[in-house]
Amino acid sequence: MLELKNISFQVDSEGKGKEIIRNISMTVPDRKLIVVTGPNGGGKSTLAKLIAGIEKPTGGRIFFGGEDITDKSITERARMGIGYAFQQPVRFKGIRVLDLIRIAAGKSLTIAEACEYLSSVGLCARDYVDREVNASLSGGELKRIEIATVLARNAKLSVFDEPEAGIDLWSFRNLIDVFRRMRETIKDSSILIISHQERILNIADEIIVIKDGVVDRQGLRDEVYPSLNAGTAALASMECEGQIRAMGPEGGAE
């Protein structure tokens, strides 16, 4: 279980302190799929980075499996079982997709095993397994490959920061199926997704709404979702689908 106690995060802006996250306390229990949503600029992605160790809180403590991980590095948290998928995936020149998935899995997967992870995120495995993770790949392709590596890690806590961003419509629908399967087979692990996309909200066990750096609402999906602004949710859904329709079949612009 992940537990945040009185977490705050402040940055310097024009010589003054600007608070992005303010005294947030929340838990992500085992065997649950949690979606964090809320207005843009509310602190959702910052919260994900604090959990992964990319940013360090200026106040409060973070516990994972009962252990204080506040001062632990990204690598230490990864070894403990926290997986993180960036909103903008990193490119690795000179590393093949197959190598990246094997590194994520921590073992020498067969090509067939690696291809299963690629297929699960909507990529034709034979076309990607030997490709380099470099500038030749579009943003959408990189996003799907990164999600495949998170799946390969089989983490205790998998954190996805807006996984719908920059992928085509078909792959987005496939991605929803991936998350549904992850939820169905979840054991002593949990999934945290940062998203405002309606279809992702609909598969959540619980929804946490972050607004202006604080937890605005938190509870079971059936309790929180109806209270969300219907117009905002519909607009977010249309914007997302409009963006992914504009993508080509490989996740790049047509």
46 inside domain: yes
50 inside domain: yes
CA–CA distances in Å: residue 180 to residues 152, 205, 230 = 16, 11, 23
101 inside domain: yes
pLDDT digits (tens, 9 = 90+) for 59-102: 999 999 999 999 999 999 999 999 998 766 667 778 888 888 99
CA 10, CA 12: separation in Å to the nearest integer?
A: 7
Q: CATH number, domain at 241?
A: 3.40.50.300
Give the model's pLDDT for residue 65. Answer: 92
- Domain total for the chain? 1
250 inside domain: no
CA–CA distances in Å: residue 44 to residues 37, 178, 210 = 7, 22, 6
The pTM of the whole model exceeds 0.85: no
254 inside domain: no
pLDDT digits (tens, 9 = 90+) for 123-176: 878 888 888 887 788 777 887 888 888 888 888 999 999 888 777 777 777 778
251 inside domain: no
192 inside domain: yes
Torsion, Cα 76 74 161 121, to 10 degrees, reads -60
User: What phi, psi does 177 have (nearest 5°)?
Assistant: -65, -40
Residue 23 belongs to domain spanning: 2-245
Task: Look at 53-62, 225-234, 243-252 and tell me which has the smallest mean pLDDT.
Answer: 243-252
253 inside domain: no
Supply the mean pLDDT for the chain.
83
Whether the per-residue pLDDT at 246 is higher than 60: the answer is no
CA 68, CA 91: separation in Å to the nearest integer?
A: 31
Whether the per-residue pLDDT at 213 is higher than 70: the answer is yes
